[in-house]
Structure 1
Amino acid sequence: MKNRIVIITPFYPIKHRKDLFEDTKAVHYLLKEFADDNDILVVHSFMHGFKSAWKQLKRVVPIKLKYKDYLYIDDYGNNVLFFENLLLFPKSIKTLSYFSKKHARLLKQFCTNEQYHPEIGVVHFPTYYVDFIRKFDAFPKSIAIIHSFDIKNIKSRASINYWKRHFDKFDAIGYRSFVIKKEFEELMGIYEKSFMCLSGIPDNFISIRLTQTSYNITDKINLIYAGRLDKNKNVAKSILALNRIDKKIQYSFNIVGDGEEKKHIEELAQNIGVADRIIFHGKVSREKTFHLMESADIFLMVSKKETLGLVYLEAMAAGCIIIGTRGQGIDGIVVDGENGFLTDSNNEEAIYKTLYRVMTLSPTEQKRIRDNAKETVRLLSDVSLSKEYYSNICSVIQEDK
């Protein structure tokens, strides 16, 4: 018998809306292995940030009265209700009650008209949806999946007692990384029913055999970054740190991706005299990005905030030695000096020292790190982790039956 599962998330692919900021497809990938055998409804409740919210006001408001105006089908054949929220105040995570009330009513309308009786609601980024969940109030059971932005919101919005009351209503808590689990439990205490909700990468990436030879400072070292070009990704600080590397060490820094920070990054590289070492590839496919990683030696991404970062895992599978951010999502999967390296994303000196350390590794050390990284990602396939995600959802559904 098919389980009726509602997934609520602010990020999910909507093919006809290329204008939306698409931070990650992680939730989409998590559904990969169980979508066909279950009756899944995705509620993609997108948040327009303050800078774009007022521009969207006339298009989004008033909200239409029929759920079918918001209904789409995804690649797996799941129903997707696509709602848009406007964060009309700076640095706010709270949408107007108008949106929560109307969206909850449309979801109820879908459930009634389609005779859809959800067994569970799985809420990603639950700190965004306090009002929406309260107004819908029709999930027999529910799971909160905690992301890095939830930790930030818990620390900066409302009181701990307020959040404690919110999370106590859920039947289980899932954590998107080991660091997130640690931070959440330090703030909120330990919840009896909890599990890890990690993301994985395709088996065909994992199965690639490593072919790279070692690099050395007498040859050109090939570095790569892949991701959105925004302030959070900290690419400018990476370039400043690279500029401190001894000029005798030859390197190229491949930047894969696009975003609002691109012009600033280009100007910075020009102003400090390293533009000839920076190669911009623009936004390319996931497969093309992986091929570029296979040709690279070092993957450098020191984001300020990162829930997990599948791109780290893909770089590890491709044979890159990775440099990530200490205390963010990859910390716990990467152990500094064992299967990759971690540094302080806020400290240019620390990034420089880590870069120099990695660039001057001996061939023996390079091989050890790469082999350990490859062994780490063998356990993190998207197929196995999708099955684990579904197993944990089923465990909550079955409780007390």
Structure 2
Amino acid sequence: MNILLLSTIYPLPSKGNRGTSVCHYFAKEWVKEGHNVRVVHYQAVYPFFFYWAARVAQNLIATKTGAVVYTKRDRGAQYEWDGVQVLRIPLFKLIPHGKFLSIAINKSIKEIIKNNAENSFIPDIVVGHFPNPQIAVVARLKRVYSSATTAIVIHGDLDQLKSIYGEGFKDFYRKIDLWGFRSKKVREDFEKKYGKLRHSFICYSGVPANYITESNTHSFKNPLNKFIYVGEMIKRKYPAEIIEALVNVYEDKNFRIDYVGNGRELETIKLKMEKYLLQKQVVICGRIPRDEIKAKYDNADCMIMISRGEAYGLVYLEAMARGCITIASRGEGFDGVIEDGVNGFLCEAGNTQELANIIRKINALTSEERLAISEKAIETSRRLTDKNAADLYLNNLIIK
């Protein structure tokens, strides 16, 4: 099967794999299954002034937003990575989060068609991740590849549908064959605005099979006291609020939490460390390679991230794969994967009092009950390996 995947977010192997890898995980698994996969990576480029500003405030922007900050224009590239053919196209827009220029989109579509023709590639499936500009491009490519199934995967970026496309979105809405969503919550929000979809699916990510523990290292004979947070240290993820909950529960300070990641909220965490005299209890680890985080999960009892605006949250699944009892946000991207009290727990985003009560609830369970939740978490991750998630995704793209 020939699959054309378009995305504005794709890792750059030439720059240390900067950028979210979610689309590449799917693409490389499809290649392993014998499919022919080509990726179009749209790299936004801006007026030169923005790159001057980025060079001046690169660290500030990165730590505040968690985004990759580019300090010079991309020139585009074509390369193969893990068997996936990638065509990176610079695409001009005037301001961040704004529309791409129509003339630039039109030029890029001609380049895609030309590149496909040169490689005798006629897609059976054309799928775009993120609305801007993928919705417009996928709809236009349908005119050229009329027999191809077209799909768009929404990552929680519903505001762009109105800000970028306005009333014109309704026309695109009818031209796309399938709509995918990174979580049940995102699909629910979409259908509240635009009505029930005839064809839709949930596009879950997976973890590498070798990431899943073969033997659970956790016994949970004692109440929780070793915690971990993995993610960007930004406000909407509420990393510092976890300390408030832990201080509330453990008046004797008999706990430890490892913070893995970087960002501006580290300053808030350090202030709370000083306020509550937690220099021995709080460990700031910085960024750690994905494979090395496994040992951190193995040493922790519980992973906590009660973030807002989380389209999915792959770190939750990674923690579950190692047997951590995982506390995620209710009504966010991981609803539907975690079943509260069965394979993990759900808490209102940023709610420190509820988080404290959940920790007390877990500590009130027997060691056997805590271990059962840990085992259920590992079982869930086994169903969502990279391969299984990619197979499920592709099956959903094939309209029966």
In 2, the alpha carbon distance for the partners of 1:173 and 1:286 equals: 30
* CA offsets 1:344-386 (integer angstroms, 9 cap, x no match): 1133332333233334433233123212222322321221221
| 1:104 corresponds to 2:109 | yes
Structure 1 counterpart of 2:348, which letter?
D
In 1, the alpha carbon distance for the partners of 2:165 and 2:243 equals: 37
Could you tell me whether the CA contact under 8 Å between 2:46 and 2:73 is conserved in 1? no
Could you tell me whether the CA contact under 8 Å between 1:4 and 1:39 is conserved in 2? yes
Could you tell me whether the CA contact under 8 Å between 2:130 and 2:154 is conserved in 1? yes
Aligned ranges 1:84-99 → 2 under 5 Å:
84-85=90-91, 88-89=94-95, 92-99=97-104
Aligned to 1:124: 129
Aligned to 1:303: 307
Could you tell me whether the CA contact under 8 Å between 2:247 and 2:253 is conserved in 1? no
Aligned to 1:194: 200
Where structure 2 has 5 or more consecutive residues not aligned to the other structure, the ranges are 55-69
SS in 2 for 1:244: helix
- From 145, 149, 161, the equivalent of 2:156 is 149
In 2, the alpha carbon distance for the partners of 1:315 and 1:346 equals: 20
Instruction: Note closer, same or farther for the CA distance 1:131–1:31 as it changes in structure 2 (3 Å cut).
Output: closer
TM superposition shift of 1:100: 2.2
Number of residue pairs aligned between Structure 1 and Structure 2? 381
Structure 2 counterpart of 1:315, which letter?
A
- From 169, 172, 180, the equivalent of 1:163 is 169
In 2, the alpha carbon distance for the partners of 1:155 and 1:354 equals: 37
Could you tell me whether the CA contact under 8 Å between 2:234 and 2:264 is conserved in 1? yes
- From 27, 33, 44, the equivalent of 2:29 is 33
In 1, the alpha carbon distance for the partners of 2:282 and 2:367 equals: 25
TM superposition shift of 1:123: 0.6
Aligned to 1:340: 344
The worse-fitting range, judged by mean Cα deviation, of 128-137 and 255-264 is 128-137
In 2, the alpha carbon distance for the partners of 1:85 and 1:232 equals: 29
TM superposition shift of 1:48: 7.0
Aligned to 1:81: 87
TM superposition shift of 1:175: 2.3
In 2, the alpha carbon distance for the partners of 1:153 and 1:334 equals: 28
Aligned ranges 1:196-275 → 2 under 5 Å:
196-214=202-220, 216-217=222-223, 221-275=225-279
The worse-fitting range, judged by mean Cα deviation, of 202-211 and 248-257 is 202-211
* CA offsets 1:177-197 (integer angstroms, 9 cap, x no match): 222222222222222222232
Structure 2 counterpart of 1:4, which letter?
N
Aligned to 2:67: none
Structure 2 counterpart of 1:110, which letter?
N
Structure 1 counterpart of 2:240, which letter?
A
In 2, the alpha carbon distance for the partners of 1:233 and 1:48 equals: 28
In 2, the alpha carbon distance for the partners of 1:28 and 1:13 equals: 8
In 2, the alpha carbon distance for the partners of 1:14 and 1:58 equals: 15
TM superposition shift of 1:252: 0.6
* CA offsets 1:75-99 (integer angstroms, 9 cap, x no match): x222111234566446x34233354
In 2, the alpha carbon distance for the partners of 1:53 and 1:129 equals: 23
Instruction: Note closer, same or farther for the CA distance 1:100–1:261 as it changes in structure 2 (3 Å cut).
Output: farther
TM superposition shift of 1:260: 4.3
In 2, the alpha carbon distance for the partners of 1:387 and 1:130 equals: 23
Q: TM-score, normalised by structure 1?
A: 0.83
Could you tell me whether the CA contact under 8 Å between 1:215 and 1:363 is conserved in 2? yes
Instruction: Note closer, same or farther for the CA distance 1:46–1:142 as it changes in structure 2 (3 Å cut).
Output: farther
TM superposition shift of 1:202: 2.0
SS in 2 for 1:79: strand
In 1, the alpha carbon distance for the partners of 2:249 and 2:296 equals: 23
In 1, the alpha carbon distance for the partners of 2:154 and 2:11 equals: 18
Question: Runs ≥4 in structure 1, deviation > 6 angstroms?
Answer: none
Where structure 1 has 5 or more consecutive residues not aligned to the other structure, the ranges are none
Could you tell me whether the CA contact under 8 Å between 2:262 and 2:287 is conserved in 1? yes
Instruction: Note closer, same or farther for the CA distance 1:101–1:273 as it changes in structure 2 (3 Å cut).
Output: farther
Structure 2 counterpart of 1:302, which letter?
I
Instruction: Note closer, same or farther for the CA distance 1:334–1:386 as it changes in structure 2 (3 Å cut).
Output: same
* CA offsets 1:319-365 (integer angstroms, 9 cap, x no match): 11110001111111111112111111133332333233334433233
